[in-house]
Amino acid sequence: MPTENKLTLKMRRAEHVNQAIRIIGDHGRRFFFSQASGRYASMVVDQRGKIWFVDDYSGKRIFTHETAWGGRWRGFSHGGTLRRMVEEFRDYIRTGDPLSPFYLGPERSFDESNIWGYDAEGMRAVREQAGALPVFRQPEQVAA
């Protein structure tokens, strides 16, 4: 059985990430979705295997890898928490190592809210739907 090449695997993982981005954009405060432009953010793998983030608001393609000339992401319309999530998405696409489900709206320690500010129902939907994708580590199945 022939093995798939690395580029094909990266593109498949990028599609999983894009599904997660759409789920996040469909609930709560609708991160990664711009109502003004009517588009979702996305992750793209170019023919060299480099991973790009296409911003939902600015529409700009942003290079997500470390560079020698600084780490500014021109055109990125979100804050540091979502930038970190995009970096984790990039690493998943690159390596195939799934993310912790903790990244889906981390809970605050002092109350029952989450740092994204999503309502409880929206956050539950995101965690259930996106958490089921291969992007996130799945809980160990208990043998019956």
* Separation of alpha carbons 11 and 5, rounded Å: 10
Instruction: Note the pTM of the prediction, 2 decimals.
Output: 0.89
User: 74 in helix, strand or coil?
Assistant: coil
Q: Indicate whether 80 belongs to any domain.
A: yes
Query: How many domains in the chain?
Result: 1
Look-up: residue for tokens 């170019």? 46
In a domain, 136, yes or no: no
pLDDT at residue 109, as a whole number:
72
Q: At what angle do helices 120-131 and 6-25 cross, to 10 degrees?
A: 160
Q: What is the pLDDT of residues 78-110, one digit of tens each?
A: 999 899 999 999 999 999 999 999 899 888 777
Print the domain residue range for 34: 6-131
Going by C-alpha positions, the residue among 81, 79, 83 that lies closest to residue 63 is 83
> 36-89: per-residue pLDDT in tens?
999 999 999 999 999 999 999 999 999 998 877 777 888 899 999 899 999 999
> Considering only CA atoms, which of 119, 117, 89 is closest in space to residue 103?
89
Residue 113 has pLDDT above 60, yes or no: yes
- In this structure, is residue 142 part of a structural domain? no
Is residue 137 situated within a structural domain? no
